[in-house]
Amino acid sequence: MKLYRSSAFAVLLLIQLIAGCSEQPATAEDASNETTAIGEEPGAQEESNPTSIGLDAGGPDSNAEDAGKTASGALSREQGPGSMPEKFSGIHEVLMDATSEKEPGNMAYNNHPEPIIALRWFARYGDEEKVRVFALHALGLYPTPENTTVLSEVAMNPKEPVAVRAGALRGLGRYDLEQEGLSAVKKFIFSAATGEDLVLAAAATDAMHGMPTARPLLLELSSSPKTPPSVKAAAERALGPQVE
């Protein structure tokens, strides 16, 4: 009987102890220990959430730089110099048949596999100068970040043949050069339009078509008696309606 009472008393005491422990409030130290126990450092969740730390809204220039990096990465994955890929042979024929008086449009290129990638390949690695010139101009029909990168690099590269650079400038002229992120290209075009190389000057002036900020310069070039004839003609074209 005494043993039964002692056992009952021990059980009652144990129940009271358990109840007392469950009623104790959790402390800050306990919460800290719990975090440490699961191996998560304070602030780790905030750092993993971009909206918590705030995305860098660096404005249009920042976005343009990001787009430029993406474009460069895409270009680096395309086929490099060497023998022409067989699948580009159709585009090659179109470029070889092209003339200034009868230049191919989108439909002529779109009838062949991967027209944009093919045009970029010929623009960068084509063996014939003529092929590169028309490929660069044709890239203006397909406004993409990758194409803008190719055209800009060729146009502003002094090591490239002048005729090829002129083709790149005219390709860029088919884009909206007033948009944010193309300030360096726009600055180069303004400089080239008044430069000493008349081939580049005429091409840069052609590229100003549809640019509101270029209108004062175009009016000056078209009216000044000192403007070379080829540049004056380009200025008059740029001031007129778009002709493709």
Tens-level pLDDT at each residue, the chain (244 residues): 444 444 544 544 455 545 554 444 444 444 444 444 434 333 333 333 333 223 233 333 444 444 445 555 555 566 667 788 899 999 999 999 999 888 999 999 999 989 999 999 999 999 899 999 999 999 999 999 999 999 999 999 999 999 999 999 999 999 999 988 899 999 999 999 999 999 999 999 999 999 999 999 999 999 999 999 999 999 999 998 865 5
SS3 readout for 6-63: HHHHHHHHHHHHHHHHHCCCCCHHHHHHHHHHCCCCCCHHHHHCHHHHCCCCCHHHHH
Question: Residues 139, 111: one domain?
Answer: yes
Confidence at residue 118, expressed as pLDDT on a 0 to 100 scale:
95
Residues 6+ apart with CB under 8 A from 190: 204, 214, 217
Rounded CA separation 210/175 (Å): 9
Question: Residues 91, 150: one domain?
Answer: yes
Question: Residues 164, 241: one domain?
Answer: no
Our count of domains for the chain comes to 2
Question: Residues 170, 214: one domain?
Answer: no
Note whether residue 102 is domain-resident: yes
> Domain range holding 239?
189-244
Note whether residue 103 is domain-resident: yes
Note whether residue 19 is domain-resident: no
Note whether residue 165 is domain-resident: yes
Confidence at residue 8, expressed as pLDDT on a 0 to 100 scale:
47
Confidence at residue 244, expressed as pLDDT on a 0 to 100 scale:
54
Question: Residues 144, 203: one domain?
Answer: no
Confidence at residue 83, expressed as pLDDT on a 0 to 100 scale:
81
Note whether residue 131 is domain-resident: yes
Last residue of a domain, one of 175, 208, 226: 175
Question: Residues 208, 139: one domain?
Answer: no
Last residue of a domain, one of 144, 175, 206: 175
Question: Residues 160, 233: one domain?
Answer: no
Rounded CA separation 110/31 (Å): 64
Note whether residue 109 is domain-resident: yes
Last residue of a domain, one of 150, 175, 200: 175
Confidence at residue 242, expressed as pLDDT on a 0 to 100 scale:
63
DSSP string spanning 138-200?
HHTTS--HHHHHHHHHHHT-TTS-HHHHHHHHHHHTTS-TTSTT-HHHHHHHHHHHTSS-HHH
Question: Residues 169, 109: one domain?
Answer: yes
Note whether residue 80 is domain-resident: no
Note whether residue 216 is domain-resident: yes
Question: Residues 232, 166: one domain?
Answer: no
The vertex-72 CA angle with 162 and 149, nearest 5°, equals: 35
Confidence at residue 77, expressed as pLDDT on a 0 to 100 scale:
61
pTM of the full predicted structure? Answer: 0.67
Residues 6+ apart with CB under 8 A from 84: 92, 121, 127
Question: Residues 197, 163: one domain?
Answer: no
Amino acid identity at 109: Y
